[in-house]
Each structure stands twice: as C-alpha cells, then as structure tokens.
Amino acid sequence: MEPSVGFLYPGYSAEDDYPQIERMLGGGVRLPVVHTLMREDAHRVDALLDVGGPDVLADGARELRAQGVSAAVWACTSGSFVFGWDGAAEQVAGVREAAGVAASSTSFAFVNAARQLGLRRVAIAATYPADVAECFVSFLGHAGVEVVALSCRGIITAAEVGTLGRAEVLDFVAANDHPDAEAVLVPDTALHTVAWLDELEERLGKPVLTANQVSVWEGLRLAGAWRPTPGLGTLFATEKAPEPASAPGGR
C-alpha cells in the first residue's frame, strides 16, 4: 500500500495546490486533504485561535486516521504560529494523538525547511495584516531564524488571498525580497504558489519557501516518503535527504 500524507486544511482557497503536487511527485504517494471548520474567515488573532482550536483539529485528524494516512500536517501557518512556539507544539501533539500518526504543522514545516537549507536570515512576504505577520516573526526567532525584512499585504480573508494569480504573486514576492535575505518565505496556505515555484526562484535568484510547498515537504519527511522532485523549488531539488522525523517543538 502506498504511503499517504494527510492535510488538515481550513476552509477553501488554495487546496488545489495539494493534488497538483501529488501529480508532480509522479505517483507512489497520496496527499489527501480534509477540510476543517472555519467559523470565521479572518486573518485576526482571535479568529485564528478558533480556526486552530483543539476541537476543530481533532475532528479532522480523526477523519485522517480513518483514511489510514502515514502522517498528518495541520496546513495552516497563521492558525499555528499565533499559538506561539509551545502552543503550536501542543497543537501538533493533539493532532498526533487524534490521527495516530506522526504530525506537524506548516509553521514547524517552515522552521524545518529553513534548517534543511541552512538558512539563518530570511525575508517574509506575508499576505496577512501586520499584527498577524509579527507573530510569525516571533515564531521564527524562537528557532534562531532572523527576519531581515517583513512585508504585509494586509488581506483579511483567505478567500481573497486564494484569488491572487500568477502575476500578482510573482510581483508581490519579488518586490519584498531583501539583499541580506538568504531566502524569501511566503507563509499563507491560502495563496496559490505551487505552479510558479521555479519561476519565483529564477526571478529572485534564491530559494523561495511557500506554505503549501513546505507543508508537503514536511509531511513526506514525517512519512519517510520524500524524494527529489523537479519543479518544486530548491527545497525539493536538493539531493540531501531531510533529517529523520522528530516531534515539533524542539530547538
């Protein structure tokens, strides 16, 4: 039976990035998505704490367990980092218990991907309002990743983020690079990016890590199913195998 990595995805916006990556992987692994409850679509801290609440995630994780997944990822960056480092680790522990498999979240996926590539200084091109994006800066700082530039587009809803097309994404990310940044991080899973990863990196001349990309990379790492894959950026192009799976939350 082929391995599968299950994703808990809040609402509907850019979830089609996941079947696209599954096709690009060329078979041998499944990437099922379970949509979790989003009572309010808003990039506000209070709404995000609800989106990532333990009751919501446990319901989705139990559905993934019933599907027999090999690993589970909470595919929501803002709905994990707003809990802070320790709270995000507790969140993942709850998913792991409910799903019965190794688990992580997109926030920890960014940290692990940065470590995989040896990144210490990054720029962030965030679609969120500034107060939400600053929580991501703090989260990365806990892991020893310095943010040398932060830009915020200020979009409130995931639904609106999901409507941004190729030209808007390319221009937004390129405009918010910084010469001191070793990579640019684009943290919203509501943003379509998978189709343009290589194009983004070619334009910037450096690695670009995006939320749906790192979520899949993290899940494959946890499931022991990662392999180099063209078209998915530097993170998937490197021949260096990811570090063995470990529980999120360590330094």
pLDDT digits (tens, 9 = 90+) for 90-143: 999 999 999 999 999 999 999 999 999 999 999 999 999 999 999 999 999 999
pLDDT band at 244 (very low <50, low <70, confident <90, very high): low
Asked if residue 77 and residue 152 are part of one domain, the reply reads no
Asked if residue 104 and residue 216 are part of one domain, the reply reads yes
Contact 155, 161 (CB under 8 A): yes
Is 10 domain-assigned?
yes
Asked if residue 204 and residue 144 are part of one domain, the reply reads yes
Is 217 domain-assigned?
yes
Asked if residue 26 and residue 147 are part of one domain, the reply reads no
Measure the CA–CA gap between 193 and 200, rounded to whole angstroms: 9
Q: Does residue 45 sit in helix, strand or coil?
A: helix
DSSP codes of every residue in 106-175: HHHHHHHHHHHHT--EEEEEESS-HHHHHHHHHHHHHTT-EEEEEEE-----HHHHTT--HHHHHHHHHH
Asked if residue 38 and residue 9 are part of one domain, the reply reads yes
Average pLDDT over the chain reads 93
Rounded to an integer, the average pLDDT of 160-176 is 90
Asked if residue 183 and residue 155 are part of one domain, the reply reads yes
pLDDT band at 40 (very low <50, low <70, confident <90, very high): confident
Contact 34, 9 (CB under 8 A): yes
- CATH code of the domain covering residue 140: 3.40.50.12500
Is 26 domain-assigned?
yes
Please say if the pLDDT value at position 245 is more than 90: no
Asked if residue 144 and residue 189 are part of one domain, the reply reads yes
Rounded to the nearest 10 degrees, what angle do helices 211-223 and 106-117 cross at?
80
Asked if residue 176 and residue 60 are part of one domain, the reply reads no
Contact 187, 213 (CB under 8 A): no
Asked if residue 140 and residue 102 are part of one domain, the reply reads no
Measure the CA–CA gap between 112 and 214, rounded to whole angstroms: 9
What confidence score (pLDDT) does residue 247 get?
58
Please say if the pLDDT value at position 231 is more than 70: yes
What confidence score (pLDDT) does residue 251 get?
41
Is 244 domain-assigned?
no
What confidence score (pLDDT) does residue 127 get?
92
Rounded to an integer, the average pLDDT of 65-92 is 97
Strands 102-105 and 146-152 turn out to be unpaired
What confidence score (pLDDT) does residue 242 get?
77
How many structural domains does the chain have? 2
Please say whether the dihedral angle defined by the alpha carbons of residues 86, 91, 92 and 94, taken in this order, is positive or negative. positive
Please say whether the dihedral angle defined by the alpha carbons of residues 19, 106, 160 and 50, taken in this order, is positive or negative. positive
Measure the CA–CA gap between 92 and 89, rounded to whole angstroms: 5
Is 250 domain-assigned?
no
- Domain with 170 in it: 118-210
Asked if residue 189 and residue 130 are part of one domain, the reply reads yes
Please say if the pLDDT value at position 220 is more than 80: yes
Asked if residue 49 and residue 143 are part of one domain, the reply reads no
What residues contact residue 99 under an 8 Å CB cut-off, 6+ apart? 6, 61, 62, 64, 65, 69, 72
Percent of the chain with pLDDT over 90: 81
Asked if residue 82 and residue 46 are part of one domain, the reply reads yes
Listed in sequence order, the DSSP H helices in 52-129 are 54-67, 78-81, 84-99, 106-117
What confidence score (pLDDT) does residue 36 get?
96
Is 242 domain-assigned?
no
Is 247 domain-assigned?
no
Is 246 domain-assigned?
no
